[in-house]
Structure 1
C-alpha cells in the first residue's frame, strides 16, 4: 500500500485532535503509531489516555514544557533538532505504519529546523509509513509536497471571550 504525506494546518482548533483520531484508526487496523510532539513538552490528557490504553502508540515530546513567546532559546532548538534526528530514524525503520509530527509546522515557523531538513526526513521514510504533519503556518514548500492538506479555520473561539484552556477539552 502506498503511503502519503498529510498536513493539518490553519488557525482553527482540532489539528492535534484530528491526528489522534487517525492514530486511533491506525491502531484499530493493527498498525503501530509514533506520535512526535514538537514544541510541546508537558503532560496533556490525550497523552495520558494513550499511555493507559493504547500501547501501540509511542509518544515522544521534543519541547521544553514552555510556550515559545517571541524567539526560541538555544535549548528549544537543540531539543527540536534532536527530535528531528530521532524521527528520521523512526521514519526509515518501517516499524510504524503511521508517524505523526505534531506541531512540526510550528517548529518550522520558529526556525527550530528548516523545511528542507523536515522534507528530507519525510522523503527518506519507509515506503509503507504514512506521515501526518500538524501545526499552524505550514509553509508553502510543505503544502506543495503534501498529498493531502486540511486547513482548520477559526470562525469563532471562546478564548476570545476570556475562556482559558480546560483540562480534557484543550489539554
Structure 2
C-alpha cells in the first residue's frame, strides 16, 4: 500500500476527531498507528479513547500542556524539536502504517519547528506509511506537498455564545 500525505486544517471543529476516526479504522484493519500530538501534553479525552486500542495505537505527546494562550517558551520549542527528531527515526523505520501528527500545524504556527523540517521528515518516510497532519493554519508549502487536504470551516459554533469546552465533546 502506498502511503499518502493528508492535511486536515481550517478554523472549524473536527480535525483531531477526523484523524482519530482514521486511527480507529486503521486499527480495525490491523494496521499499527502512531498518534503523535504536538503542543498538547495533558490527558485529553481523545487520549483516553485511543488508549483503549493500545495493542495497535501508540500515543506520544510532544507538549508541556497547552500553551496556546501564552507565548511559546524555550522548553516548548525543545520538547517539539525532540519530538520531531524522534519522529524522523520512527518514520524511517516504518514500524507504523499510519502516523498522525496532531496539531503539527499549530507547532508550525508558533515556530516550534519549520515547515521545511516537517516536510523533510515526511519525504524521508517509508513509502508505505500514511501521514496525517492536523491543526489550524496549515502553511501553503505543506498544502502543496500534500496529496489530500481537507479544510474544516466554522459556520457556527456555540463557543461564541459563551459555551465552554465540555469533557468528552471538546476536551
Tell whether the structures are fold-level matches, with TM greater than 0.5: yes
In the other structure, the counterpart of 2:22 is 22
In the other structure, the counterpart of 2:40 is 40
SS at match of 2:86: helix
In the other structure, the counterpart of 2:10 is 10
Alignment TM-score, normalising by the size of structure 1: 0.97
Give a deviation string over 1:81-137, Cα, whole Å, max 9, x none: 000001111111111000000000000000000000000000000011000000000
In the other structure, the counterpart of 2:119 is 119
Gaps of 5+ in 2: none
Larger deviation: 160-169 or 47-56? 47-56
Q: CA deviation at 1:55?
A: 2.5
Give a deviation string over 1:130-149, Cα, whole Å, max 9, x none: 00000000000000000000
Runs of 4+, deviation exceeding 6 Å? none
Q: CA RMSD of the aligned region, Å?
A: 0.9
In the other structure, the counterpart of 1:88 is 88
Q: CA deviation at 1:70?
A: 4.2
Q: CA deviation at 1:53?
A: 3.8
The answer (yes or no) to whether the contact 2:100–2:131 under 8 Å persists in 1 is: yes
User: How far apart, CA to CA, are the structure 2 residues paired with 1:66 and 1:168?
Assistant: 17
User: How far apart, CA to CA, are the structure 1 residues paired with 2:19 and 2:6?
Assistant: 10
Give a deviation string over 1:37-59, Cα, whole Å, max 9, x none: 00011011121122134421001
Alignment TM-score, normalising by the size of structure 2: 0.97
Q: CA deviation at 1:71?
A: 2.4
